[in-house]
Amino acid sequence: MGHLSGSRRLIAMMMALIVLTPMGVDIFLPSLPMLAQDFALETAGIKWSITLYLISMGAGQLLAGPLVDALGRRPMALAGASLYAMAGALCLFAEHIGLFYAGRLLQGLGASMATVVAFSCVRDRFEGERRAGIYSFLNAAVCVVPALAPLLGSVLAAYWHWRASFVFMVVFALGVTLFCLWGLEETRPLNRRQQRWSDYGRDVVSILRDGHFIFHALIAMTGMTVILIYVTTAPILLIDRAGLSELAFGAWFGTVAAINVIAYFLAPGIMARMGQHNAIRTGLAIMVAGGCAHGVLYTLVGSGVATFMLPNAVMVTGFSLTLGAALSLALEPYADRAGLASSLAGCCQMGGGALMASLLTSLPVSPQWILALTGLLGAGGLLLLTFQGLYRCRVPG
């Protein structure tokens, strides 16, 4: 009973750490037009506050990974949550856009530490499909935030100010810090090999030469690219162009996120019945179907709230079925380098996804067609590779 209680407490703390990342995006999405007005920018320009945060979050994991392995999970969890809170306070009091962007970069770095700790702790304590199921639960927690945060952010923006969203983030991060200070025990294996900084480059190359790892990291990156294109373009399409209020936007956004959460909670049972590889194939096929829906609806009906949001609900559902299995299979061979492997997977997922989303949304093409092509070419190409069996190859490291 004590072991079960300890596992539940660990999972709860990992959920608290990992939701810092989406909270840094979703709670102030409804406030983007207000924030842009305060800083005298266009709404399309202020979306860089999201892009910089996510790039920092992804790239920061390259530093966080070896630190989590070298210094331990607990101190890095405390450092990450504390930095997130301090950076949020910097954004809260910023009067110039440059200072606000600096706060966002630091906030992304804090989120990167928290994320690497969360995935490393799960890799330390759980195995096989149980680990894949917990990764799905963690990602379900990530998706609860998009379900609830825009609604909360809408209320904060409508009745107070966009800065109120950062007050909430600071308070939440301080609460996570205290939670980990009270209840998080060190999970780093006692018998792990001693890591020297001189080994870091060699280990990175070894992992990146593993075709099995790269394939599953690319699945995570493709899905995150879809999510970020959707998240960064939704306020422009729905609030600025379609004229939705902040509350109506929060309701639509929350509904899609709720569908995503349900899919994440169903994913462990699906993986148990189908196996992790078949769950990945099924999820990729659903993402391809969502991409097709974007292209067909935009061509036949044109731009609209429902024609944009419903295909996104399909695509994020497919991503929900793939992500837990993809991360579990990517990290499976790296028990002694869980922090480094988690950081590389996270960098590919978040940093690569943010970079791809930024590049794609800068093209003179509608978001609907960008999402359609990402589903058809990105998810579709990966789906074909699963049938070729190329993702099973490994390069000895």
**Residue-wise pLDDT tens digits, 91-127:** 888 888 889 899 999 999 999 899 888 878 887 777 6
Lowest mean pLDDT among 132-141, 224-233, 249-258, 265-274: 132-141
Q: What is the pTM of this model?
A: 0.71
Distance CA 356, CA 238 (A): 22
**Contact between 288 and 380 (Cβ < 8 Å):** yes
* Residue of higher predicted confidence among 280 and 38: 280
- Domains in the chain (CATH in brackets) are 1-184 (1.20.1250.20), 197-391 (1.20.1250.20)
**Angle, CA 175 vertex, CA 104 and CA 55 arms, to 5°:** 20
pLDDT at 395: 39
pLDDT per residue as tens digits for the range 239-263: 778 887 767 877 887 788 778 778 8
- Residue 351: DSSP 8-state: I
Lowest mean pLDDT among 8-17, 176-185, 190-199: 190-199
Tell me the DSSP string of 89-103: HHHHH--SHHHHHHH
3-state secondary structure 145-177: HHHHHHHHHHHHHHHCCCHHHHHHHHHHHHHHH
Distance CA 370, CA 226 (A): 9
pLDDT band at 143 (very low <50, low <70, confident <90, very high): low
Residue 141 corresponds to which tokens in the numbers above? Answer: 């927690």
3-state secondary structure 231-295: HHHHHHHHHHHCCCCHHHHHHHHHHHHHHHHHHHHHHHHHHHHHCHHHHHHHHHHHHHHHHHHHH
pLDDT at 36: 77
Closest alpha carbon to 149 in 8, 258, 269 = 258
